[in-house]
Copies of this chain bind each other. A is one copy, B any other.
């Protein structure tokens, strides 16, 4: 089997900033990401075109999604990942589909379960009732936000969420709708590194 044909595919439809063009904050983020994860994901490279705006987007996104920066989340990390994943699949964002199912899989320790949740959470009996309700809310916010009703929110209250927790879920679902749209408009290339284990097994 020869080298995969896709290695030369473009990372984005728009200009991808070179190292010298990055803001200091972005450059430090790239270095930290490469240290932890081994590579800089294509979305970070493509979004860097936003310069200081993008630094401000990241300053909002990372604490919200990852619970870093001293933030106290009401949702569990697993719930936040589930929301980001079902939104990305619903929007059919190729990059985000791949990224968030992979992220959920790492969190769960199980690619099979992560993929099943992403592709149809309703059929996954392993989820809690609260996780199902959050996934439903996120899907509705994505596909037809005007169909969110007071009953949806009341149902989440009955499952133990307070209003700050519900708002956190709404924020995550909504901002992933934004990042999905940016990724789709740019046609960000799914990270080849995500497929290394599968490709290694295939060619062994």
Which residues does A use to contact B, with CB under 8 Å? 1-2, 4-6, 9, 13-15, 49-53, 56-57, 59-60, 63-64, 71, 91-94, 97-98, 105-106, 108-113, 115-116, 119-120, 122-126, 137, 141-142, 145-146, 148-150, 153, 163-164, 166-168, 170-171, 173-175, 177-182, 184-187, 189-190, 192, 194-203
In the complex, A4 Cα to B115 Cα: how many Å?
13
- Residue from the set A52, A53, A149, A195 with the largest chain B CB neighbour count within 10 Å: A53
Question: What B residues does A91 contact at CB under 8 A?
Answer: 145
In the complex, A173 Cα to B177 Cα: how many Å?
11
Closest to A70 in B: B52
Decide if the interface of chain A is mainly helix, strand, loop or mixed.
helix
A5–B126 CB distance below 8 A: yes
In the complex, A179 Cα to B173 Cα: how many Å?
11
Contact of A5 among B110, B171, B179 (CB under 8 A): B110
A141–B15 CB distance below 8 A: no
Question: What B residues does A177 contact at CB under 8 A?
Answer: 174, 177-178, 181
A197–B201 CB distance below 8 A: yes
